[in-house]
Amino acid sequence: MIITLRAARVNRNMTLLEASKYLKINKDTLTKYERDSSDIPYSLSKRMQELYEVPAENLFFGDVNTFVAHFKPLPEL
């Protein structure tokens, strides 16, 4: 299963402020990466994997709109 960074944070019951403090980044920066993590630094992605307890292969790194378009379930006919 692949999830977004925001979903990983929410699954850990963390607010933006809590996660950003642990990650040592501004909460606005975290919000930006939750929308589009295409250019996220490797060291930050590793800290997120540790914090959220989710391996890299289960995290979606990219534009959230792409995630929704690619992984959103199709409506039943």
- What is the C-alpha to C-alpha distance for residues 53 and 77, in angstroms, rounded to an integer? 37
Tokens 């379930």 appear where?
73
Judge contact between 67 and 60, C-beta under 8 A.
yes
CA 26 to chain centre: 15
Which SS3 state, helix, strand or coil, does residue 66 take?
Answer: helix
Provide Rg for the chain, Cα atoms.
13
Tokens 């995290």 appear where?
59
For the domain spanning 5-71, the CATH number is 1.10.260.40
Q: Model confidence over 14-68: pLDDT tens digits?
A: 999 999 999 999 999 999 999 999 999 999 999 999 999 999 999 999 999 888 8
